[in-house]
Structure 1
Amino acid sequence: MKIGIDARAAIWYRGTGIGTYTYQLCRHLYDVCKQEELRFFWPGDEFRNLHITQDDVFRQVEQNKDRFWEEIHIPQVIQKENIDLYHVPQNGIGLPYPKECPLVATIHDLIPYIYPETVGKGYLKIFLEEMPRILEVVDHVIAPSHCTARDLEQIAGVPRNKITVIYEAAEPIYQPMDRERARLFMKERFSVDKPYLLYVGGFSPRKNIRLLIHAFHQVRRYLPEEYCLIIPGKQSKEYNDLESMVAALRLQEHIRFLGFVKVDELPRIYNGASVFVYPSLYEGFGLPPIEAMACGTPTLVSNVSSLPEVAGDGALLFSPIRTEQLSELIYAVLTDPELAAELGRKGLQRARCFSWRRAALTTRDVFLRLR
């Protein structure tokens, strides 16, 4: 059986949830499959970025990112390579047409249906136009959580027997390290010389950063020492609104937007944090909390969508509409060393329940059932 994977997101969207998923899935499928079974459809010749030495599994395809969603060339490549099954990891967008072989799509979430106002207009248009056809023609759907699986059933009408839930995981780079060295890195690299709270995950309104800023504003004055709130991430149009909000609350000296940071810097940023807070209104899985927990950082997450399912007992939960509740949890963790230590241990234990190798093995099982 020869399996084709649309692997372009692994390089184009590295550092995002879909990019991380595609990167790690390809990397571990390479380890658990026979090499002759795989063909990674790849942009350009940057094969080494996946840390796979055998170039035979790669097939260069359309390199122009602006034409990423176009499908004209893919059926020809599938025929030429005698592909028996084709998998599209990025929500099925770019699925080949006409259909030349069994198709699998990973649908990470249905956010454009649930929170359309939080999605860019271009992607929203593509998603709403393409998703009905995608779900009709694919032979099987992979979902990253039971939450997403329920949405696929209830919102999109996908039969449950057509869905397999396969959890994601933190990348291996996320692990505990010396906290003082991590904080020294923060001081030298970003001039952060205070203990800090951390949020990672982008600036979409769906991420609900305003709640976190208000909660931090409420609790900051009651903490026994001066903390700051650190928010890394590539600036977007939503960033300007948040910056204005911070200025209105006179928190410019206490909230730091770091801008874009490299993936290999994030483990030290997580490890240096006193607490990680994830106030999102909706997630199909939610990698940042798992990354924080894998570093042993005390973690707080909102109690909606997939987050309670994923976090288990490894994080404390709060309502994403209750500022005071979040303020109280932040205060409790930052003023009770025993609670913080216990939460860090539970988070680390929970993060170890997830495995990219297991995800790859289960994905391969899905492929084999369809041959």
Structure 2
Amino acid sequence: MRVALNARILQAPRTGIGQYVAALSEALQEQAGVDLDLFLGRSWGADLPSAPMPGYARKASLAKRVPGAYRIRRWLEQRSFDRGLKRRQVDLYHEPTLWPLEFDGPMVMTLHDLTHVHYPQTQPADRLLEIERHVGRAVERAQAVLTDSEHVAGEVRRHFGLPEERVTVAPLGCAARFYPRAYQALERTLGELGLVAGRYLICVGTLEPRKNLELALRAHALLPASLRKGLPLVIVGMPGWRAEQLDDTLKASLAEGDVKVLGYQSDAVLAELLAGARALLFPSLYEGFGLPVLESMASGVPVVLTGTSSLPEVAGEAGVYVEAHDPQAMTIAILRLMEDESYWQRCRTLGLEQAKAFSWQRCARITSDVYRKVLGG
């Protein structure tokens, strides 16, 4: 079967959905009977782009100032998509985001979460408008909907009134670059960033209100001053919409060097940053899956996280859970991981075992089975 996968998101630096598209497409190409064509926005190809589109951030920033930018971009992409389809005998179209392009054939879409429903205030108004224009109709058009977790599958069925058989859970996987590493092997990369392996905490995720980073910042600020100075909180991620809300909370900690905001980092550097952390703090209010949690566990690093949405499905018994609005609880969890080596080792061991339950090969196998079901075989 020939499948068209919309991989346009790979024009941008890879965050959650970009990582999904890249890893899934690689794993699908190993599945027997799946012939994959990637739509890259302006062109088609069989190979993943090795890097984001040059100047993507500047172009995206300019586009936000243009009235109707989302609709203009969609119109241009639809034209390019249609031209490519004329030269291909595509059996099925897979859309990994909220607004599929038009396609006169079977369509499968992935709904990673319902952030636009639960936290509409975290979306720019023009983007939210486009989501509301397209997503309902898209779900009606789709012969099957994939989700990353049971939690989101239940939400999708209830919100859109879908029967159980139209929604399939395909849990995400973990890239091979996330594995435990000797601290000595991390010295060069971490040294260039002013860090020491085992002597920092890390948060990973786009800077936006839903990620609830203020909880981690306040918990870190409550640590004893002597510990806090030698245990910086490292924040890694793309600036998101309303990221400026963090500024007031960050100012004092940034000025004293207690918090380091590293921004977006390459896949290779992120893997080393995770492996060198004492713990991952993941205070998110809502997640469709939570890839950094899985990646941290696979790296042999304990995770302190909230027990919201899908996160317990990913972390299982390996997670150190705290309430989403209780910085003192997170501070206590951090202190225990710092001071109790046997507890840290236990969390590490549980996390490594939990991570084994997830793989991109499994995700691709479930996904290709859905393709076959939709195509009647």
1:94 matched to which residue of 2?
Answer: 100
Q: Judging changes above 3 Å, is the alpha-carbon distance between structure 1 residues 200 and 192 closer, same or farther for their aligned structure 2 residues?
A: same
Residue number in structure 2 paired with 1:12: 11
Q: Which residues of 2 match residues 281-300 of structure 1 at below 5 A?
A: 281-300=285-304
Going from structure 1 to structure 2, the CA distance change for 1:233 and 1:369 (only over 3 Å counts) comes to: same
Q: CA deviation at 1:231?
A: 0.6
- Give the alignment of 1:144-159 within 5 angstroms: 144-159=148-163
Question: What is the percent sequence identity of the aligned residues?
Answer: 27
1:83 aligns with 2:87: no
Within the candidate set 104, 110, 113, 1:106 is matched to: 110
Instruction: Give 1:84 deviation, angstroms.
Output: 1.5
- Once the two structures are superposed, the pairs formed by residues 314-333 of structure 1 within 5 Å of their partners are 314-333=318-337
Provide closer, same or farther for how the CA distance between residues 262 and 46 of structure 1 changes in structure 2, counting only shifts above 3 A: farther
- Change in 2 beyond 3 A, CA 1:172/1:157: same
Confirm or deny: 8 A CA contact 2:229 2:258 kept in the other structure.
no
Q: Could you say what the CA RMSD is over the residues aligned between the two structures, in angstroms?
A: 2.4
What displacement does 1:252 show?
3.3
Q: 2:195 — aligned with what? A: 192
Q: What residue is the counterpart of 1:24 in the other structure?
A: 23
Bigger mean CA offset, 194-203 vs 66-75:
66-75
Look up the equivalent residue of 1:40 and give its one-letter code.
L
TM-score calculated relative to the size of structure 1: 0.88
Count of residue pairs brought into register by the alignment: 353
Post-superposition Cα deviations, 1:335-370, rounded to whole Å, max 9, x if no partner, equal 111111111111111111101011111111000011
Which residue identity lines up with residue 18 of structure 2 in the other structure? G
For structure 2, the 5+ residue unaligned runs are 51-62, 64-68
**Paired residue secondary structure (2:154):** helix
2:182 counterpart of 1:178: yes
Q: Does 1:254 align with 2:252?
A: no
- Is 1:278–1:301's contact at 8 Å kept on the other side of the alignment? yes
1:351-366 to 2 correspondence within 5 Å? 351-366=355-370
The 1:17/1:157 distance shift into structure 2, 3 A limit, reads same
TM-score normalised according to structure 2 size: 0.87
Verify the 8 A CA contact 2:277 2:301 in the aligned structure 1: yes
Residue 162 of structure 1: how far off its partner (Å): 0.6
Take 2:122 and 2:338, find their aligned partners in 1: how far apart are those partners? 32
Matched, 1:367 2:371: yes
Tell me how far apart the structure 2 counterparts of residues 162 and 201 of structure 1 sit (CA, whole Å): 30
- Structure 2: how far apart are the matches of 1:76 and 1:158? 33
SS in 2 for 1:155: helix
Once the two structures are TM-superposed, the CA of residue 95 in structure 1 deviates from its matched residue by 2.5
Asked if the contact 2:237–2:265 (Cα under 8 Å) also holds between the matched residues in 1, the reply is yes
Residue 125 of structure 1 is aligned with which of 109, 124, 129? 129
1:199 aligned counterpart, secondary structure: strand
CA drift of 1:200 comes to 0.4
Pairwise mapping of residues 54-69 of structure 1 onto structure 2 (< 5 A)?
68-69=73-74
